[in-house]
Amino acid sequence: EAQVTQNPRYLITVTGKKLTVTCSQNMNHEYMSWYRQDPGLGLRQIYYSMNVEVTDKGDVPEGYKVSRKEKRNFPLILESPSPNQTSLYFCASSFFGTSDEQYFGPGTRLTVT
């Protein structure tokens, strides 16, 4: 089954404790992206990647890191999480970038206390 998977689905952590949210797709997509969704603010792009070893900042990259060492994986790293990073996070992928539809993962609900 073609899909984007994310893990964990739910995470409660404390300020400053490094965490990684994994994202994997099995559709051989070139483009992968991370979003956060907050009430009243909608989906905002954090980072995106056009291909292996190619990553770029979105609109809200502060406090996040990403890497794209393999085509299928695009982990999101929070080196020192803060309460303002409490949010619902989505990973998404598409074949060729912004001219194609994106397929979204199931989401990761992160709470930072």
Partner 1 sequence: QKEVEQNSGPLSVPEGAIASLNCTYSDRGSQSFFWYRQYSGKSPELIMSIYSNGDKEDGRFTAQLNKASQYVSLLIRDSQPSDSATYLCAVNKNTGNQFYFGTGTSLTVIP
* Site residues (vs partner 1, CB under 8 A): 31, 33, 35, 40-45, 48, 50, 56, 58-59, 90, 97-107
C-beta closer to partner 1: residue 62 or 101: 101
Supply the minimum distance, in Å, between the C-beta of residue 107 and partner 1. Answer: 5
User: Least distance to partner 1 from the beta carbon of 106, Å?
Assistant: 6
Residue number, 1 or 40, with CB nearest to partner 1: 40
Residue closer to partner 1, measured from CB, 40 or 113: 40
Read off the tokens for 69.
Answer: 């060492």
The Cα-based distances of 5 to 33, 34, 103 in angstroms read 13, 12, 10
Rounded Cα distance between 4 and 17, Å, is 26
* SS3 call for 83: helix
CB of 79 to partner 1, least distance (A): 23
Toward partner 1, which CB reaches closer, 36 or 79? 36
Closest approach of partner 1 to the CB of residue 10, in Å: 11
C-alpha to C-alpha distance for 44 and 7, rounded to whole angstroms: 20
By the 10 Å C-beta count (0-12 exposed, 13-18 middle, 19+ buried), 95 is classed as middle
